[in-house]
Amino acid sequence: MTSNFKIKFFNNIADKELKEAWVKLQHESKIFPQMFYEWIEPWIRLRFGNRKLHIVTVTREDEIIAIAPLCIEKKFGVSILTSLPIHYGDKYEFIISNEFEKKDIYISIFKEIEKSTKYSVIRIGQIELGSELYNNLKSFNYKSKKLINCPTTDFSGLTFDEFIKKLHRNLRSDFRRGKRRIAEIGNLQFETNKTKEYYLSNEKVFRELYEKRWGEIDSELLDDNYYNCRRESYIDILDKGHALIVALKINNEIVGYRLGFLNNKIYHDWKLCFDIDYSKYEISSIMTSELIKYLIDIGYNKINYGPGDYSYKRKWSPDKTAIENYIFLKGLNKSFGSVYLSYELKYKERIKNLLTKIRKN
């Protein structure tokens, strides 16, 4: 019963009680790695800005049994309770013990956060359609809006040859032609690695490839602070066996790489980049085909390509499957809350499209 639960707040990510409970619960509940303490802590410590931590926990008999990572930020003068991670997470979940009735825990958290006067809006993003949190937010009458599609490739129960036959013949021709062209200039190597040593030894190469690929397109390249956060968080997830590095080499030189996560027999893409000098060699397609072969061999069932409904992802989904990510909102203040909800639900996309047109012109 919810009457047995108590709510306790934390505003310090380094709190010993919070950390110990978080690490214990994350492994018990098998949550997505970007909800791990080790992933979130560096970004908060090094890249949190003016936000204020507002982590909600549910306790029973003085033991933390659930954690809702949240923070308070201001946008347009409106105080907003929002989910963590912010710009460095593709899926959001509450971290809940499997020993208790989860519905009661959700009720305890929602009732508590909705009665606060510290913020005017609750904003929880990157919620998978049909997930436990999605269904509970719906039942509490939060407003929702689809954020983005995450294309997927499902190869469960298939051999690699069986899966390849499901692809469009043009796609099959593309990566096979790319392999033949590479064979003319050197030796092709596909590598997978799960160690922090591999990441650290190749971090400079990964960054150089990214900046070479996007330097003339993106006016605001990722800074040193960002890479410091990535290094700390990602190598910790590698250490725990929940991340995977994929590299494609020609003559022992890395020409493409992927950084991803492993969770419940699914590989989740996070970062993908290739050397633009090798564009005509179908580096991205070769990496994807080799990755799928590797995943089938180790008993995995699916790739989630992460947010972004791009053609280079969709073409690897013969069954046209995708996971939909949503944002949920609730206004607590009639004036400020309703204005911000109107912006998020009605006008944000229109403004974004207008600014894109202006920049193009």
Q: Do 24 and 141 fall within a single domain? A: yes
Q: Do 239 and 282 fall within a single domain? A: yes
Query: What pLDDT is stored for residue 359 in this prediction?
Result: 67
* pLDDT of 219 above 70: no
Query: What pLDDT is stored for residue 220 in this prediction?
Result: 75
Residue 21 lies in a domain: yes
Q: Do 13 and 146 fall within a single domain? A: yes
Q: Do 196 and 250 fall within a single domain? A: yes
> Which of these three, 300, 316, 342, is where a domain ends?
300
Q: Do 258 and 130 fall within a single domain? A: no
Residue 317 lies in a domain: no
Treating both helix axes as pointing N-terminal to C-terminal, what angle do 37-47 and 16-29 enclose, rounded to 10 degrees? Answer: 140
Note the pLDDT tens digit of each residue in 170-202: 999 888 898 899 999 999 999 999 999 999 999
Note the pLDDT tens digit of each residue in 1-42: 456 899 999 999 999 999 999 999 999 988 999 999 999 999
Q: Do 164 and 145 fall within a single domain? A: no
Residue 319 lies in a domain: no
User: What's phi and psi for 252, nearest 5 deg?
Assistant: 70, 10
Residue 36 lies in a domain: yes
The number of domains in the chain is 2
* pLDDT of 115 above 80: yes
Query: What pLDDT is stored for residue 348 in this prediction?
Result: 80
pTM, two decimal places: 0.92
Q: Do 144 and 53 fall within a single domain? A: yes
Q: Do 20 and 43 fall within a single domain? A: yes
C-beta of residue 294 within 8 angstroms of C-beta of residue 275: no
Give me the helices (H) in 123-214, please.
132-139, 160-166, 169-185, 196-214
Whichever domain contains 296, its CATH number is 3.40.630.30
Q: How far apart are CA 103 and CA 294, in angstroms?
A: 38
Q: Which domain holds residue 355?
A: 2-150+324-360
At 295 the three-state DSSP class reads helix
- Counting Cβ atoms within 10 Å, is residue 280 exposed (0-12), middle (13-18) or buried (19+)? exposed
